[in-house]
Amino acid sequence: MKDNTSHINPLENEAIYIIREVAAQFEKPVLLFSGGKDSITLVRLAQKAFYPAKIPFPLMHIDTGHNFPETIEFRDRLVKELGLELIVRKVQDSIDQGKVKEETGRYASRNQLQTTTLLDAIEEFKFDACIGGARRDEEKARAKERIFSVRDDFGQWDEKNQRPELFDMLNGQIELGQNVRVFPISNWTELDVWSYIEKENIEIPSIYFAHKRKVFFRDGLIWSHSDHVYQDDDEEVFEKVVRFRTVGDMSCTAAVLSEASDIATVVQEIRNSTISERGARIDDKRSEAAMEKRKQQGYF
Amino acid sequence: MINVLKQQWKKENNKDISKKYLAFNNKNLVPNIITMEVLKIATAGSVDDGKSTLIGRILYDTKSLTDDKLEAIEKTSKQKGYDYLDFSLATDGLVAEREQGITIDVAHIYFSTPTKSYIIADTPGHVEYTRNMVTGASTSQAAIILIDARKGVIEQTNRHFFINNLLRIKEVIVAINKMDLVDFSEEIYTKIKTDFQALMEKRDYQSQKITFIPVSALKGDNVVNPSENMPWYNGKTLLEHLENLKNQDIYNVGTPRFPVQYVIRPKTDKFHDFRGYAGKVYGGELNVGDKIVVLPSQTTSTIKEIYFYDQKYQTASRRSSVTITLEDDINISRGDMIVKAGDLPKIDKQLTANICWMDSKPLLPGSKYVVQHGVNKVLGRVDAIHHKIHPDYSGIDSDVDSLQVNDIASVTLKLNKPIFYDEFKNHRTNGSFILIDSQSNHTVGAGFIS
């Protein structure tokens, strides 16, 4: 038996508390799982929250169809190993049903289209709480986000009318049709997440580590050469050793040149980095208020 | 190719920015690997006190602003025609705020040093936003009150101090800002300090620790780096002061309270009879072998095991999220509370509290609300509004028939079931509650039990 629990990171205690509140306050929670490091961290925290019982809610992946294959392979293995339930809803189906229109051109991405698929899935399963891995340090609009963030029937975020959150008390009371987005790692920074992954020895998809990849350069960012990513004829393809610092789908995630091939080196690299994580997100570059606009429409 | 990479990192450009604005280079301030200490700080200041600039300066001097964020700040500052970097752009997140140049909601800002991780809850300073200040202060262990050296102690300062005192923030730093605009005058600093000390006489929470620091957020004096312009000041810089705060200085210690959040029953072969009570420990610690009482049933038992994930511990430390098992099989559900025998809280269906009203719909005597006390929910009725408290130390108002948004008042609540509480002054967690409107589901008030 160990001595005492004072060594446990306060952020971890907070996240576990929040995840337990979700299980206790809501009837149909779900954990939104993208296969990225933040949602993988959430799964570990949820395991800890309910041990020795299983995580009492399913995972859901909104699949753009433009994922890195490594992420999908990782997702399926994790779910199998932990014996969790996984729901997958595809953006392609929303496109086929004519609910959304595929973007075209140089910056075409399915990132925004995910919102419709997500809102439809929430309605289909009557989820009343969706746990997500968003962090306040990622982006300015997210810095204002509550831990329990209420969305109306249309999935929209009313940033001017948010509930105050006092002390540890989380108010999860909602009307029928509303749902709550829950952010247990709100107060973690990118470095906190990476350090936690290192300390806990959590497995993450291989694309987070240095690997050879065919890439091209545009707007000062490194893009993956892939069928899912639009590329001009004069945009030359190089093979480079790169890794990903953040993982969305292929059309909206830029790589960084890196030799970091294990977690310790990755953490070191993040510590010394002079570029923010979202600096590698093509979707955020659209305008200064890009994230706030997407959130109002129901984006995660 | 080389050009593309150059463009990607833009390091060279940014070095020029730092040369222009940075007197000292704190190379030793690299973030920590594993965060053990987290300090949450609430900031309060009036419009134009330079609060956002102060935060921006802290981020900048601790190297917490990345190149791309700096670049965005530089670009926007230029567009606005400023000849300096407008650090407020780093924190004012919403479009409306950028348009109006004000902060309208609590924003959270993060930075770290080798010893600590910091979270700043940046709350706006407008009169009408008392609720945001109360919210920001409720999760913080320290507070920074900003005073414009040219204006001195103003009504807003009284309000900010009042709220930090009401919420029993243990550690308050009074940062007297814009010293560069008063020629770094010691006389002005001393005058403001004396004025503030007069205010301190009026406070309820006398043991609150208060530290005065003269700063210039814009120029960087005494924020992270010591000032060369104020040789008369021998104290620590703002960051040095924060770095030196110890956990025991900033947390309010009380008696251990363990509100049960969730009952864990795995019903697997290996853990067939396992019945664990999940929750967070508040106030003090709990040990294996402790004699405990479960409320409200008043059943007694002994702590058998303390789990954190798959490890067992002898002691559950303050603020850790653990799972506890007991020697006896007793019926416990969410909202119940486990406490040490001989150390019981008050158990009552009626309570008097100071509440801060946060809803645009006024509070009227006789109205019913959901009272959320920790993880426990009961129904409550406001029996009487005794008096309104002016949050600037200008006294009370006994002739009240309703409360408007941002009002603070002493009220009596009747509850449909007893709750197990401590006075707020003895227990910050077990002495506070929120009021929820059962029609709108909004959090409409915060209460501090007297």
B250-279 confidence digits (pLDDT tens): 777 789 999 999 999 998 999 999 999 999
Question: At B25, is the pLDDT very low, low, confident or very high (cuts 50, 70, 90)?
Answer: very low
DSSP track, B13-50: HHHHHHHHH-SS--TT-PPPSS---EEEEEEE--TTS-
Q: How far apart are the first and last CA of chain B?
A: 68
Question: Could you tell me if B91 lies within 8 Å of chain A, comparing CB atoms?
Answer: yes
Q: Tell me which residue of B151, B159, B86, B172 sits closest to B128, measured CA to CA.
A: B159
Q: Are residues B72 and B175 in the same domain?
A: yes
Task: Name the amino acid, one letter, at B406.
Answer: N
User: Which residues have C-beta within 8 Å of that of residue A161, sequence separation ≥ 6?
Assistant: none
Please give the domain boundaries of chain A with CATH numbers for all domains: 10-192+289-296 (3.40.50.620), 205-285 (no CATH)
Q: What are the structure tokens assigned to A41, written together?
A: 């961290």
- B residues 308-347 closer than 8 Å to A (CB): 308-323, 334
pTM for the whole thing? 0.90
Give per-residue pLDDT as tens, B313-362: 999 999 999 999 999 999 999 999 999 999 999 999 999 999 999 999 99
Where residue B264 sits, what CATH number does that domain have? Answer: 2.40.30.10
pLDDT band at B29 (very low <50, low <70, confident <90, very high): very low
Residue in B30, B33, B109 closest to A143 by CB: B109
Helix (H) or strand (E) segment spanning residue A263: helix A263-272
Nearest-neighbour CA in chain B from A35: distance (Å) = 23
Rounded-to-integer distance, Cα B10 and Cα B324, Å: 53
Query: What integer pLDDT is reported at residue B7 of this predicted model?
Result: 42
| Domains in chain B, number | 3
Chain A to chain B, count of Cβ pairs less than 8 Å apart? 224
For residue B98, which residues of chain A lie inside 8 Å, CB to CB? Answer: 288
Residues of A in contact with B278 (CB under 8 A): 20, 49-50
What confidence score (pLDDT) does residue B126 get? 65
A195 touches A267 (CB < 8 A): yes
Residue B405 DSSP class: T
Q: Do B309 and A51 touch (CB under 8 A)?
A: yes
Q: Write out the two tokens for B233.
A: 């000041």
Residue window 97-136, chain B: list those with CB within 8 Å of chain A.
98, 104-110, 112, 117, 119, 131-132, 134-135
Question: Residue B271 belongs to what domain range?
Answer: 257-340
pLDDT for the residue numbered A263: 94
Q: How far is CA B363 from CA B207, B389, B409, B437, in A?
A: 33, 15, 11, 10
CA A283 to CA A103: how far, in whole Å? 13
Residue B20 has pLDDT above 70, yes or no: no
According to DSSP, residue B345 is labeled -
User: CB B312 to CB A220 under 8 A?
Assistant: no
Q: Terminus-to-terminus CA distance in chain A, angstroms?
A: 41
Mean pLDDT, residues B7-25:
34
The answer on B120 and B62 residing in a single domain is yes
Nearest chain A Cα distance for residue B37, angstroms: 7
Residue that terminates a domain, selected from B295, B316, B340: B340
| Residue A167 structure tokens | 């002390």
Does the distance separating the beta carbons of A136 and B108 come in below 8 Å? yes
pLDDT surpasses 70 at B15: no
Minimal-distance CA residue of chain A relative to B7:
A220
Q: Cα A270 to chain center, whole Å?
A: 18
Chain B residues whose CB is inside 8 A of the A173 CB are 370, 436, 438, 441
Minimum distance, in Å, between the CA of residue B386 and any CA atom of chain A: 24
Residues of B in contact with A151 (CB under 8 A): none
> Which residues face A255 on adjacent strands?
A222, A244
Q: Does B2 touch chain A (CB under 8 A)?
A: no
Q: Are strands A129-131 and B117-122 parallel, antiparallel or unpaired?
A: unpaired
Provide the 8-state DSSP code for A253: B
pLDDT of B28 above 50 = no
Q: Are residues B280 and B372 in the same domain?
A: no
The single residue listed with the structure tokens 């920590």 is B32
Q: Is the pLDDT of residue B12 over 50?
A: no
Lookup: tokens for B79? 């567009």
Half-sphere exposure of B332 (CA within 13 A, CB side): 31
Residue appearing with tokens 């109006």? B100
* pLDDT at res. A291: 57
**Are B272 and B197 in the same domain?**
no
Whether B245 and B127 share a structural domain: yes
Q: What average pLDDT does range B165-183 have in this prediction?
A: 96
In angstroms, the CA A147 to CA B308 distance is 23
Please report which confidence band the pLDDT of residue B24 belongs to, taking 50, 70 and 90 as the band edges. very low
Query: Contacts of residue B441 in chain A, CB cutoff 8 Å?
Result: 150, 171, 173-175
B411: number of Cβ within 10 Å:
26
- The residue with tokens 């600039």 is B53
What is the ipTM metric for this complex? 0.90
From the list B10, B319, B443, which residue is nearest A171 (CB)? B443
CATH of the domain at B149: 3.40.50.300
Distance to chain A for B159, nearest Cα, Å: 19
Distance from CA of B332 to the nearest CA of A (A): 14
Among B249, B246, B243, B250, residue whose Cα is nearest residue B116:
B243
Q: Are residues B209 and B236 in the same domain?
A: yes
Which amino acid is residue B214, in one-letter code?
A: P
B388-410 confidence digits (pLDDT tens): 999 888 889 998 999 999 999 99
Half-sphere exposure of B125 (CA within 13 A, CB side): 24
Three-class SS state of A219: coil
Query: Which residues, numbered 235 to 294 in chain B, qualify as contacts with chain A under a Cβ-Cβ cut-off of 8 Å?
Result: 261-262, 264-268, 270-271, 274, 276, 278-280, 285, 288
Which domain-ending residue is among B234, B250, B266? B250
Task: Report d(CA B136, CA B145) in Å as an integer.
Answer: 13
Q: Say if residue B379 is in the same domain as residue B429.
A: yes
In this structure, of A74-78, B7-11, B79-83, B373-377, the range with the lowest mean pLDDT score is B7-11
Task: Encode pLDDT of B107-158 as tens digits.
Answer: 788 888 888 889 998 876 665 578 888 999 999 999 999 999 999 999 889 9
A118 vs A297: CA distance, rounded Å? 12
Determine whether the interchain pair B432/A167 forms a contact, defined as Cβ–Cβ distance below 8 Å: yes
Give the number of C-alpha atoms closer than 13 A to the C-alpha of residue A117, restricted to the C-beta side: 26
Question: What three-state secondary structure class fits A65?
Answer: coil
Distance, CA of B354 to CA of B404 (rounded, Å): 14
Phi, psi of B352 (to 5 degrees): -110, 135
Question: Which tokens in the block code for residue B383?
Answer: 């029996």
A14 contacts on B by Cβ (under 8 Å): 321
Among A9, A52, A220, the residue with its CB nearest the CB of B266 is A52
> B138 to each of A140, B40, B146, B420, how far by Cα in Å?
22, 10, 18, 20
Please say which residue of B250, B268, B293 terminates a domain. Answer: B250
Of residues B368, B351, B365, B377, the one with CA closest to residue B447: B351
Inter-chain contact A52–B268, Cβ cutoff 8 Å? yes
Pair (B292, B236) in one structural domain: no
Same-domain check for residues B105 and B128: yes
Crossing angle (nearest 10°) for helices B67-79 and B11-21? 70
Q: Note the pLDDT of residue A144.
A: 77
Low-confidence ranges of chain A (pLDDT < 70): 278-300
Tell whether B47 and B195 lie within a shared domain. Answer: yes
B96 vs B119: CA distance, rounded Å: 23
d(C-alpha B195, C-alpha B188), whole Å: 11
Sequence-ordered alpha helix ranges (H) in B244-328? 247-250
Q: Do A168 and B429 touch (CB under 8 A)?
A: yes
Burial class (CB within 10 angstroms; exposed 0-12, middle 13-18, buried 19+) of A73: middle
Contact yes or no for B314 and A4 at CB 8 A: yes
- Interchain CB contact of B372 with A (< 8 Å): yes
**Least Cα separation, residue A5 to chain B (angstroms):** 5
**Are A186 and B109 inside 8 Å of each other by CB?**
no
Is there a contact between A48 and B309 if contact means CB atoms under 8 Å apart? yes
For B:388-407, CB contacts with A below 8 A are none
C-alpha pair distances (Å), B93 with each of A139, A285, B104, B109, B121: 8, 15, 10, 11, 13
Residues B431 and B386 in one domain: yes
In a 3-state reduction of DSSP, which class is residue B353?
strand
Residues of A whose CB is below 8 A from B308: 5, 8, 48
- The answer to whether B173 and B211 have CB atoms below 8 angstroms apart is yes
Q: Provide the β-strand partners of residue B388.
A: B397, B409
SS3 at position A76: helix
Residue A11 to chain B, least CA–CA distance (Å): 8
- What are the tens digits of pLDDT across the range B58-105? 988 888 887 777 887 888 888 888 777 777 666 655 445 555 554 456
Are residues B399 and B335 part of one domain? no
> Chain A interface, mutation test: which of B3, B8, B138, most A Cβ atoms within 10 Å?
B8
**How far apart are the CA of B312 and the nearest CA of chain A, in angstroms?**
5
